[in-house]
Amino acid sequence: MAVEDASGLVAAIADAHSLEAAGDRILAPLADGRLGRPGEPWRGLIALDGNLTAALLADLARSPLFVAADLRVAPASPGKAVRLRPLLAHPRATHYVNLEEAGVLAGKHFSTAAEAAAALLAAGASRVLVTDGSRECCDGQSGAELLQARPPAVALQRVTGAGDTFMAAHIAAEFRGASRPAALEMALAAARAHVSGEAG
């Protein structure tokens, strides 16, 4: 639940106790043959977030069930970003973070998304997408140039869910075969529609 006013987010709360209580039971489809099994890991997309327990996320970073998957990782909130540190160097993980979350992951302050992306790559990340509200965002990938793009200016109607919308649109665009620059632009367009109130 989020409370917003004309200037943006006032407060937000998420109850993740049931998810935390489920523990590694949520991994059953990856181990029992429905999606994958030991020796034949799932090769599709998996979205992970920091609402899982720190212990479970640390286990996932080492799990053979995740070695072939296209992992898309988000903190869920700045306060939970630290839980994702074990996954930072996972070779098949793409991390979606805002500037504050990037700072928590790296343990330092950043002034720009590009600075944060470069530092996370240097820390071992394979790929990161760093957003910074209305300022330039950055797609950083190991062995490739940093891509930067500025979100279009809009009148803000809501901010809660903008990061989730960005991530979902980016994943969908790449799943359909979009290039890195095109996927970044599509993600920004979806986030713009969300924060402006154009999307339902």
Instruction: Dump pLDDT digits (tens) for 37-74.
Output: 989 999 999 999 888 888 899 999 999 999 999 999 99
Return the CATH number of the domain spanning residue range 2-196: 3.40.1190.20
Question: Which pLDDT band holds residue 158 (cuts at 50, 70, 90)?
Answer: confident
Greater confidence (137 vs 15) lies with 137
- Residue 51: the pLDDT is 86
Half-sphere exposure of 147 (CA within 13 A, CB side): 16
Token pair, residue 37, equals 């099994």
- Residue 146: the pLDDT is 97
| pTM for this prediction | 0.89
Q: How far apart are CA 95 and CA 124, in angstroms?
A: 12
- CA distances (Å), 160 to each of 5, 41, 93, 101, in order? 11, 34, 24, 15
Q: How far apart are CA 102 and CA 120, in angstroms?
A: 8
Question: Which pLDDT band holds residue 187 (cuts at 50, 70, 90)?
Answer: very high
Angle at 24 between CA 18 and CA 30, to 5 degrees: 120
Angle at 36 between CA 32 and CA 37, to 5 degrees: 55
